[in-house]
Amino acid sequence: MSYTAAVDHLYALGQELAPATPSTPRRKFDLAHMRVLAAALGDPQMTFPSILIAGTNGKGSTAATLASILTAAGYRTGLYTSPHLIRVNERIQIDGHQIPDEDFARLYFQVDEAARHLVEAGDLPYPPSFFEVLTAVGFLYFAGENATHAEKTRVDIAILEVGLGGRLDATNIVEPLLSILTDIALDHQDYLGNTIAEITREKAGILRPNGTLITLPQHPDANQAIGEAAATLNLRAINAASYIPGQTPGVSRSVPGHQVGASGKQAATPLPANHYSITLDGEALEVNSPLSGHHQQRNIALAIAAAAELRHLEGYKLGQIAGESNQIGYKITNAHIEAGIRNTHWPGRLELFTFSDGPQLLLDVAHNPAGAWTLRAAIAQLPEAQPRTLVFSCLRDKDLNEMAQILFPLFDASSTDSKRSKDHIVFAPIDNPRAAHIDDLLAAAHALDIPAHAAPHLAAALAQARAVTPSNGLIIATGSVYLVGEICRLAGEL
């Protein structure tokens, strides 16, 4: 079967978070189903060591940075993330390379056939979901089931980003060496709970008895819930705060950042780069990350703490491989950490596109209020007099009104601030069943008395933004991963 057939078949499964209908009720998450599927495939997730990363925001950046560090240290490193921006293959990578189409197709239909037999035998009540199938494909690929090598070559370690929550997420059937919790905020309340504490308890489901947790101080309610879970499980908790640069002179510095834009040329990013020094195990470590934004310092700190912990492991044994173990942990030097951070690739996060003419384009996947606040902090670092245009859309299960209150006033051409007189807001629909309606987007702007316009589709929105934004201005596209992914594709064609 072809790759195209595999992708078409996958999308026909439907998204877990798609709105419920009379014929398709909302799916209930159940790890028992994922364990049945994995067992039918030979439990591939038990053949390689792994790290689980959960949180509301920052988990993808943390995962990508940590995976890059391990690759720089010479380890064959798997990376599983979600969602994707352009192609589904982005979710499953080894050493920075996406799963090849032929491997994806073969493994997809292997999982699909196993699932079909399980349903026919009554071992599963219904076929696995979109995310469960992709997770199984990733586990098989990391276990060495790939066609691009003459013999099976499994990964030395896999970095797994949790899709939703943690406790019932399909990735949570592994036995992780480390569990990492990034920043936690309100999101997906319909599934995870209505308070920070409830959501944190769901995400703390990736923790293991006598295991190791790496996290950072955050919202007091999250801190308390994490502390309660840690005490119950008797685990080691590592605070990564010591790897965030201090504010004293000489410890941290901002320098003009550079990103490779769509034109293929390096251009100065409008945001300060994360370039600073810290101390790790008594030695200086130079951080020079391509990921912009002050918030990335927290994600980088978590990745550094995880790398430090991996090199101090006393050893582990893989439960499904008799007699095979790692007795000395991972050999990761400070130079490896520096190189890994420097070479991290994680698109769509304050990513700058430059063109031969016209304004630049800044993309960010801020898709919830916490992400919107982070983006607002980044916008505050832009030149105040620079004209800017917001291209925005979001999913209807997000808090549109709060995101509007956070972001839209920064682009208010009707405000008394003369510097904003050349600003614009352009809305566009996105191709997703959960997408907010254009009328709702316009209503959110009008409720704030902020002028905004709507485009019939994203290509038109981008063209309109380029037309109304002066050549020295900046277009900022945000509000949804799906919007950013489609604009990434469109921008690459300009």
Q: Are 119 and 126 in contact (CB under 8 A)?
A: yes
Q: Does domain 349-492 bear CATH number 3.90.190.20? A: yes
What's the pLDDT score for residue 327? 58
Alpha-carbon gap, residue 360 to 462, rounded angstroms = 12
The larger pLDDT score, comparing residue 123 to residue 148, is at 123
Alpha-carbon gap, residue 113 to 96, rounded angstroms = 29
Task: Indicate the pLDDT class of residue 153, thresholds 50, 70 and 90.
Answer: confident
What's the pLDDT score for residue 374? 93
Alpha-carbon gap, residue 466 to 187, rounded angstroms = 32
Alpha-carbon gap, residue 462 to 282, rounded angstroms = 49
Domain ranges of the chain: 3-258+272-342, 349-492
What burial class does residue 221 get, using C-beta atoms within 10 Å of its C-beta: 0-12 exposed, 13-18 middle, 19+ buried? middle
Average pLDDT, integer, range 116-132: 95
Alpha-carbon gap, residue 429 to 395, rounded angstroms = 10
Parallel, antiparallel or unpaired: strands 157-161 and 50-54: parallel
The mean pLDDT value of the chain amounts to: 88
Average pLDDT, integer, range 421-429: 96
Residue with tokens 């920070």: 196
What tokens does 412 get? 């208010």
| Whether the domain at 3-258+272-342 and the domain at 349-492 fall into the same CATH topology | no
What's the pLDDT score for residue 149? 55
Q: Which of 26-40, 58-72, 74-88, 439-453 has the lowest mean pLDDT?
A: 26-40
Task: Indicate the pLDDT class of residue 222, thresholds 50, 70 and 90.
Answer: very high
Task: Indicate the pLDDT class of residue 19, thresholds 50, 70 and 90.
Answer: low
The answer to whether the peptide bond before residue 83 is cis (omega within 30 degrees of 0) is: yes
Judged by DSSP in three states, 418 sits in helix
What is the DSSP track for 143-188? Answer: TT--TTSSS----SEEEEE-SSSSTT-GGGGS--SEEEE-B--S--
Type of residue numbered 62 = T
Parallel, antiparallel or unpaired: strands 266-280 and 252-260: antiparallel
Which residues lie below 8 Å from residue 479, measured CB to CB, with a gap of 6+? 366, 367, 392, 393, 394, 403
Q: 3-258+272-342: CATH homologous superfamily?
A: Mur-like, catalytic domain (3.40.1190.10)
Alpha-carbon gap, residue 278 to 85, rounded angstroms = 32
Alpha-carbon gap, residue 140 to 144, rounded angstroms = 7
The larger pLDDT score, comparing residue 69 to residue 367, is at 69
Give φ, ψ of 478 to 5 degrees.
-165, 180
| Burial annotation 199-208 (CB, 10 A radius, 16+ → b, else e) | bbbbbbbbbb
| Burial annotation 37-54 (CB, 10 A radius, 16+ → b, else e) | bbebbebbbbbbbbbbbb
What's the pLDDT score for residue 263? 38
- With a cut of 80, say whether residue 189 has pLDDT above it: no
Distances in Å between the Cα of 456 and the Cα atoms of 63, 73, 245, 400, 424 are 36, 48, 45, 19, 16
Q: Which of 56-60, 112-116, 253-257, 306-310 has the lowest mean pLDDT?
A: 253-257
- With a cut of 80, say whether residue 22 has pLDDT above it: no
Type of residue numbered 48 = F
What's the pLDDT score for residue 166? 83
- Could you tell me how far CA 130 lies from the centroid of its own chain? 17
Rg from Cα positions in the chain: 23
What tokens does 37 get? 């599927």
The larger pLDDT score, comparing residue 225 to residue 253, is at 225
Element (H, E) at 272: strand 266-280
Q: Are 349 and 365 in contact (CB under 8 A)?
A: yes
Parallel, antiparallel or unpaired: strands 316-317 and 283-289: unpaired
- With a cut of 50, say whether residue 249 has pLDDT above it: no
Which residues lie below 8 Å from residue 5, measured CB to CB, with a gap of 6+? 105
- What sign does the CA torsion over 203, 56, 15, 350 have? negative
